[in-house]
Amino acid sequence: MVQLSVCIEPFFSDLPYAERLKRIAGLGFKAYEFWFHDKRFDGKGLVAETKDFDQIAELNSKYGLVANDFVFNHPDGGVVASLIDKGDRAKLLDSVEGMIALAKKIGCRKLISGSGNKVPGLRREDALESMTEGLSLLAKVCEKEDITLIVEPFNSRVDHPDYFLDNPETCVEVLRAVGSPNVKMLFDIYHMQIMYGNILSFVKANLDFIGHFHVAGIQGRHEPFPCELDFAFILNTIDAMGYSGYFGLEYWPSTDAGKSLADTKKLLAGP
């Protein structure tokens, strides 16, 4: 059975997070995710604002919600540090236990890791070596704390031209080298369709390395319908492969957020 989570950043962006969670629960969703612990998306851009994790924990209990994941490190927020830059490694290692503590406070078991943006003059081989070494060290902490770090490739053609990790095959190569069950890939179908396509064949061959999926329509990153992919077919096929996690809805609603989510839920997961 296809299970959906909602990234609360692009939805109901004019409302405080407490009201966003209430709306999501009212629509029948059981899980959600967000971007940064220290920034809020207000519909136009990121605003510095530290989330109240005690309040989030209370709301999860009140509405029966699961916080699936949020961002550990990214060029735009969270811990602003790069996996490919060895100079940032100490910052990542010094920060990870604090971020895990926040995650555990709200019952969250997954943290998203970006690779970082390209560094002028840094050879690709050296960047991959740094990424592998850094993830291997972070994996030891995650294994001890029973947390999964999910590494996300982005598309560099449309949305993130400066981002380093834009190839899912490269991500799998790094994950093989790291060799930890607590470090996996966040496979964003929108990003990877733009970069490479061949979605289901790749997922079938590499499902063991995937810890979460994101969903958004191509083109435009709006609702996953109508668009160039049949998302209902894709998600049901991945579900039939044995995937038991959530598919995160991370898109810009082109209509009322509540109607958009209700329509998407009906299409992808049934009434």
Question: Which 3 state secondary structure label does DSSP give 88?
Answer: helix
- Each residue's pLDDT tens digit, 179-196: 999 999 999 999 999 999
Q: 168 near 196, Cβ under 8 Å?
A: yes
- Each residue's pLDDT tens digit, 216-262: 999 899 999 999 999 999 999 999 999 999 999 999 999 999 999 99
- The string of DSSP codes covering 52-67 is -HHHHHHHHHHHT-EE
Name the nearest CA neighbour of 210 among 195, 231, 192: 192
**Predicted local confidence at residue 159, as pLDDT:** 86
Does 271 score more than 80 pLDDT? no
Q: How confident is the model at residue 270 (pLDDT cuts 50, 70, 90)?
A: confident
**Predicted local confidence at residue 31, as pLDDT:** 98
Q: 186 near 151, Cβ under 8 Å?
A: yes
- Each residue's pLDDT tens digit, 134-158: 999 999 999 999 999 999 999 999 9
- Each residue's pLDDT tens digit, 98-124: 999 999 999 999 999 999 999 999 999
The predicted model gives 83-96 an average pLDDT of 97
The predicted model gives 160-164 an average pLDDT of 95
Q: What is the 3-state secondary structure (H, E, C) of 117-144?
A: ECCCCCCHHHHHHHHHHHHHHHHHHHHH
**Predicted local confidence at residue 132, as pLDDT:** 98
- Each residue's pLDDT tens digit, 25-65: 999 999 999 999 999 999 899 999 999 999 999 999 999 99
**Predicted local confidence at residue 209, as pLDDT:** 98
- Each residue's pLDDT tens digit, 199-222: 999 999 999 999 999 999 998 999
- Domains, the chain: 3-269 (3.20.20.150)
* Residue 70, phi then psi, degrees to nearest 5: -150, 175
Cβ density class 146-177: b for 16+ within 10 Å, e for less: ebbbbbbbbbbeeebeebbbbebebbbebbee
**Predicted local confidence at residue 38, as pLDDT:** 96
**Predicted local confidence at residue 169, as pLDDT:** 97
